[in-house]
Every structure is written in C-alpha cells, then in structure tokens.
Amino acid sequence: MFKEFDITNLENAHNELEKILNENKEYLQQLLKQTNKNYENFVKPFQNMQERVGEYITPIFHIDSVKNSDISQEVYAKCIPLLSEYDSDLSQNVSLYNALKAIQDNYKSSLSDIQNKVLENEIKEMARNGCNLLQGDKDILKNINLELSKLNKEFSQNILNATNSFEMIVDTYEDVKELPQSDIELAKIELDGIIKYKFTLHMPSYIAYMTYGSNREKREELYKAYSTRAPQNGDIIEKILELKQQKAKLLGFENYAQLSLDSKMAKTEDEVIDFLYNLASKAKEKAIQEVQEVQKIAFDIDNIQDLKSFDLTYYSEKLRKKQYDIDEEHYRPYFEQKSVVKGIFEFLNKIFNISFIKSNTNTWDDKVEAYDIYENNTPIARIYFDLEARKDKSGGAWMNNWHSRYIKDDILSLPTAFIVCNFPPSTDKVPSLLRHNDVVTLFHELGHGLHHLLTKINEPFVSGISGVMWDTVEFPSQFLEYFSYEKEVLQMFAKHYQTGEILGEKDIEKLKNARNFQSSLATLRQVEFALFDFKLYQSSIQTQSQVQILLDDIRKDISVIIPPSYNKFQNSFSHIFSGGYSAGYYSYKWAEVLSADAFYLFLEKGVFDSTLGKKYKDIILASGGAKDMSDLYFEFANRKPEVESLLKIDGIIS
C-alpha cells in the first residue's frame, strides 16, 4: 500500500538514478514507436514513467535537507546534472510533443476533463519550453536561457557579496541597550580592549538594529547600506529585461508578463493590474492613519517631526508594544509540540472527517513520526512529521510531496508527503514549546500537505499539488493558517503543559489583534512590489533610469512614506531578477484573497461547519490540479472570490 522510506544505498544513488533515467529514455522510444497512440497506451505509461523518477529521487534530495552529510551533498551534486540533462531532453523532444498533440486532437471529445487537462498542461509546458520552434530558434532560446541562468546567479552573488562585505560598529552600550540581550551578545566584539557592537546586513542583525537601535544616525547608516547594495546589478537588470523580452517574443507573446500569465490563474494583464490597484485603493486610507500613529509616537518620544523610512521599524515596534505588549514567552507553555499536533489532528477530524493513525514505518530520525490518514476507516495517505531543529538539518519549514495518487497495473498508489519544521528541540526533561508563530507555520505547511494528500485524482500529473497554477498554490496553506487564530480551534490544544490550564480568551484576542498590526502598510508594500514587477515586464523598458522612473511613479501612486532617493531597492529584488517570480510577484496577494474569502465563509457559517468543510475538501482539496482553480473556487463558493474578505480579515475595512 505504502512504500517504505529507504536510503540504505545512498552513496550509490546517482548510479541507480542514471539507470532509471536511461531505462526511461529507452521506454519512451518504445512508446513513440507505437502506431496507434492513445491515452491509455501512451499518456498513462508516460506519466507512470515520470513518477518513477520522482519517487526515487525525492528521498535522496530530502535526506540532504534533513540529514545533511558529506555523502548526501556529494550524491546530490552528482544527481543534479543527470536530472537536468534528462529534463532538457524531454522538454525539447519534438516526437513526444507531436504525439501528445495528436492524441489531444484525435481523442479530445472522448477523453474525460481530467485527461484533457493532463494533455493541455503538458503540451503548454513543452510549448513554453520552445519545443515546437524551428531548430534555429531553439538554439537561440537555449542560449537565452543559459545566459539568464548565469545572470540570475550573478545577481544573487552580487547581493551576497555586498551583504557580507559591510559591517557597522556601534561604540557605546547606550546605542544598543534596547536590543534583546541575545542580540546584544551576538553583536558584542572587543576592539583594542574595548567592548563594541558589530552589525551587518544579514537579516537577523539588520532587523535587530532597525527594530531596537536607538541611534537614529546609525539606523540610517545601516538602512542606506542595505538599500544601496550591489549597484552593479543595475547593469544586470538591463540585460535580464532585454533577454526576457526576446524570449517572450520568440515564444509568440507580446511581452514577458503575457508569457508568465500563460501558466497562472489570472488570464489577462488588465486583470492583474486592476486587482492590485483595487487592493491599494482599499488599504491606502488606513495605511496613512497607521503612519500617522507612528509619527505621533516618534514625536512624543523623541520629538521626531519628519519620519523617515529608516525610522519606521523602530517606532512601529514601540507602538506595537504599547498597543499589544505580546510576550511570546507567556504563550509558549501553552503550545507544547505533541499537544499541538494531537489537537490539530482532532481539529482536522472535526472539519474534514479524517483520522491520523500512527505508523511504525521507517523514518530518517528517531524524532520523526509518520501517520496514516484514514477516511471512512480506509487509509488514503501517509504523512511524515519532522518538526524539531537539528544541526544536520536545513532551516525553515516546508512541505515536500513524495508519492502522488495514481493507478498503475490496476493497483492504486496512495499519496505521501513530508512536513518539515525547525521547532525548539525536546529532551527527556524539557518538551518542545512552540511560539504561536510556530503553530501558524505548522498549520500553513499542513495546508500544503492536505492539498496533496486528500486528492481523489488518479492521474499523477494533476493529482494533489501537481499541475496547480503558480498563483494559487498558496491558497490551501494560507487558508488553514487562519484557523490557528480562532478561539474554538486554539482551545482544543492550547493547554499549559504543566497545569493543563486552557489559554484564555483575552490572550487569544491579543494574538488576533496583533496579527493585524499595520496590515494596511504591509498590503501597500506588497502591492508596490507587485505593480513594479508586473509593469516592468509588461513594458519595453531597457535602461536603469527608466526602471527607476517606473518605480518612482508607482511609489507616488501607492506609497504613504516615500524612501530616500538613494534607495535602489530594485538592485536587490531577487524574487523577480534571480528567483521564480518574474511578472508573478502578485501571486502572494492573489492566493491570499482566495484563502481569506474561503475562510470568511467559515466565519459566517461557523468554524466547524461540517457541510462547508466537506465541500472544501471534496472540491478544492480533492480536485488537486485537475481543474483550474477559478472554476473550482466558483464551484465551492458559488461566486468569485471577493477582495473585501481579505480586507476584513486583515482589519483594513470593517
């Protein structure tokens, strides 16, 4: 039913992978030689062939993240080029493309909607990779992609080098006394026998001083260094813009924004732009009030009359403390890890009618636990929890899907996934006590996990999270997050690990209120980034000065506090110049509207409304990537998602 986690032959994994890939290449040639290709004899075995690769390589890559070693690093490095070459050959395989297109053309009316979706996705993806271009254009596209890859790496490296090269020395304790003691200790250095304090542009250090550093001149020094990093990236931006425009034109699009939207829920450029400006218009008035509140406290405390960008974080923290005064340490005894996990299982059983039964299957660490998920007394999925920090484990939190749900040789393969977090480690004497932010993180990653695990689709390319559009993939995770602030849910597991006392309503209300602190400012900031990104890739802008003019114009429209002229934020905007978010940064807010609107329905009907929970599970989660999310959402809510739901939950409108 479930395959065991097994990496006993890790050191030879690259050899086994190479064997699998070569067998797949030979198998594909056999499939292509068939004279009467159809969905059953070509598409299904092609999907199964690809699943074999994913099922084998996922544990290999996973172990490098959660049990990192010299061997795992070496094997990872050997596997990457093998996979890269294999994927490149497949994406450029004209015979494969023509076979899929012929099946789509010849059998579309007799295929199911799900089967047609598999074909549509795969054909579109291959087309976006230039499979149907003439050989000369393929070569041009290959060179563009290679050059973009180099530029992306150079862009990131420049930021890293600039970040590493700067340090700011604070001479006196007076200028650091407001920092948490742990940050003071980290910053402390000895120069010529004198204790001083060093701050860098690495985020923990930077944020610590910008939030608690009382010396205004030092705050600006640090802010200026951060916002002017990597000026040479201006030249790289020009090259990236030129190459991405060439790529879009080569693939038949007017601009790169159109190419980006080809794989997203949003269908038109105007739809994205209108969405972002609508958000901004709703948030701006309250954002102005939020800045005025900061301005007032800055004046009251330090007689600051001209609030600047480098003041905002410092005085916002003072305002936040004054309004909410949340002490994370007060909450942690109520969020003992095992109690939280058990309570979340009870919550998911109540809302989705699923049960979690502990499995004795193999894992990669003694503290990793696996559970089989049951629905109506039938196992439907398996989930692994690796929740505690370790020295050999990468930081952060993520969900990693291992197996998909699909049928091969009349046998149903059930989905599996890993949930990985970095919570405080437990010992025999001390349990793992979480912050509420950790609880939110666990809900978020479980949202991703359930999206993959509760699917009812048996076609692996659109089963679970496979085939889900980029700008909607965060919807189920953000949606589940909202429940982690609700009294009815929290009180299922927020119990003091020593006394058993349930977290009080006032403490829960504090958490909810603090969540919306400066939410309008945060919304405007995200809209500013998203508009800059999208308009940049819509345009034919080629020079650094034109880039700056565009950003300045957007800020005049959107921002309520204008950064100083020396701020060159664009030169370190790695999301869109060295990441995967080019003309797609809007996705963060787009998915958030879906999640908030869905959650608002639960607020109206009741957090534990079983009918609504079943509907969400049966439509949104069960369908995976088999249908466009716009259609799924309408089927679920009987209407399109409303921006107002997000604005209400964020406290921007009432």
Beta strands at 167-170 and 194-200: parallel, antiparallel or unpaired:
antiparallel
- Residue 80, pLDDT > 90, answer no
At 175 the pLDDT is 97
Asked if residue 651 belongs to a domain, the reply is no
At 87 the pLDDT is 87
Q: List the one residue out of 513, 477, 449 whose CA is nearest residue 587.
A: 477
Asked if residue 27 belongs to a domain, the reply is yes
Same domain, yes or no, for 426 and 476? yes
Taking residues 62-75, what's their average pLDDT?
92
At 263 the pLDDT is 87
CATH number at residue 61: 1.20.1050.40
CA distance 278 to 647: 11
Taking residues 97-122, what's their average pLDDT?
97
At 300 the pLDDT is 97
Within 10 A of 569 (CB to CB), how many other CB atoms are there? 16
pLDDT band at 391 (very low <50, low <70, confident <90, very high): confident
At 549 the pLDDT is 97
- Burial, 132: exposed, middle or buried (Cβ in 10 Å; 0-12, 13-18, 19+)? middle
Same domain, yes or no, for 408 and 456? yes
Burial string for 418-452 (b: 16+ CB within 10 Å, else e) reads bbbbbbbebeeeebbbbebebbbbbbbbbbbbbbb
Looking at the DSSP bridge assignments, the partners of residue 413 are: 406
- Residue 1, pLDDT > 80, answer no
Share of the chain above pLDDT 70, in %: 100
Taking residues 546-554, what's their average pLDDT?
97
Three-state SS at 638: coil
- Residue 196, pLDDT > 90, answer yes
Length reported for the chain: 654
Give the end of a domain, one of 543, 570, 585: 585
- Residue 328, pLDDT > 80, answer no
Looking at the DSSP bridge assignments, the partners of residue 495 are: 502
Which of 213-222, 440-449, 577-586 is least confident?
A: 577-586
Same domain, yes or no, for 23 and 95? yes
Asked if residue 460 belongs to a domain, the reply is yes
Token look-up 């650091």 returns 176
Same domain, yes or no, for 477 and 354? yes
Same domain, yes or no, for 18 and 121? yes
Looking at the DSSP bridge assignments, the partners of residue 412 are: 407
Give the CA distances from residue 43 to residues 235, 253, 458, 464, in Å, rounded to whole numbers and listed in that order.
Answer: 45, 28, 13, 18
| Residue 508, CB-side half-sphere exposure with 13 Å CA sphere | 19
Within 10 A of 595 (CB to CB), how many other CB atoms are there? 24
445 has catalytic annotation: yes
- Residue 266, pLDDT > 80, answer yes
- Residue 156, pLDDT > 90, answer no
Higher confidence at residue 7 or residue 353?
353
Same domain, yes or no, for 338 and 415? yes
CA distance 412 to 414: 6
Token look-up 């359930």 returns 450
Give the end of a domain, one of 458, 482, 506: 482
CA distance 52 to 477: 27
At 578 the pLDDT is 87
Asked if residue 159 belongs to a domain, the reply is no
Within 10 A of 46 (CB to CB), how many other CB atoms are there? 24
**Catalytic-labelled residue, pool 445, 459, 481, 592:** 445
CATH number at residue 264: 1.10.1370.10
CA distance 224 to 485: 37
Asked if residue 141 belongs to a domain, the reply is no
Please say whether the beta carbons of 2 and 371 come within 8 A: no
pLDDT band at 118 (very low <50, low <70, confident <90, very high): very high
Asked if residue 596 belongs to a domain, the reply is no
CATH number at residue 394: 3.40.390.10
At 37 the pLDDT is 97
At 599 the pLDDT is 96
Please say whether the beta carbons of 139 and 176 come within 8 A: no
pLDDT band at 355 (very low <50, low <70, confident <90, very high): very high
Please say whether the beta carbons of 94 and 131 come within 8 A: yes
Convert the pLDDT of each residue in 410-452 to its tens digit. Answer: 999 999 999 999 988 998 888 999 989 899 999 999 999 999 9
Asked if residue 605 belongs to a domain, the reply is no
At 394 the pLDDT is 81
Please say whether the beta carbons of 449 and 419 come within 8 A: yes
Which of 402-416, 423-437, 474-488 is least confident?
A: 423-437
At 652 the pLDDT is 92
What is the spatial order of strands in the sheet that 194-200 belongs to? 167-170, 194-200, 188-191
Same domain, yes or no, for 121 and 251? no
Give the end of a domain, one of 430, 463, 482: 482
Residue range of the domain that includes 87? 10-132
What is the secondary structure of 373-389 as a DSSP string? Answer: EEETTEEEEEEEEEEE-
Same domain, yes or no, for 399 and 458? yes
For residue 454, the 8-state DSSP code is T
For residue 413, the 8-state DSSP code is E
What's the mean per-residue pLDDT of the chain? 94
CA distance 331 to 95: 60
**Residues 6 or more apart from 70 whose CB is under 8 A from it?**
none
At 24 the pLDDT is 98
pLDDT band at 654 (very low <50, low <70, confident <90, very high): confident
- Burial, 571: exposed, middle or buried (Cβ in 10 Å; 0-12, 13-18, 19+)? buried
Asked if residue 468 belongs to a domain, the reply is yes
The H-assigned helical ranges of 129-232 are: 135-165, 181-187, 203-212, 216-227
Same domain, yes or no, for 256 and 209? no
- Residue 548, pLDDT > 90, answer yes
- Residue 204, pLDDT > 80, answer no
- Residue 329, pLDDT > 90, answer no
Same domain, yes or no, for 31 and 77? yes
Within 10 A of 153 (CB to CB), how many other CB atoms are there? 11
Beta strands at 194-200 and 188-191: parallel, antiparallel or unpaired:
antiparallel
Q: How many structural domains compose the chain?
A: 4
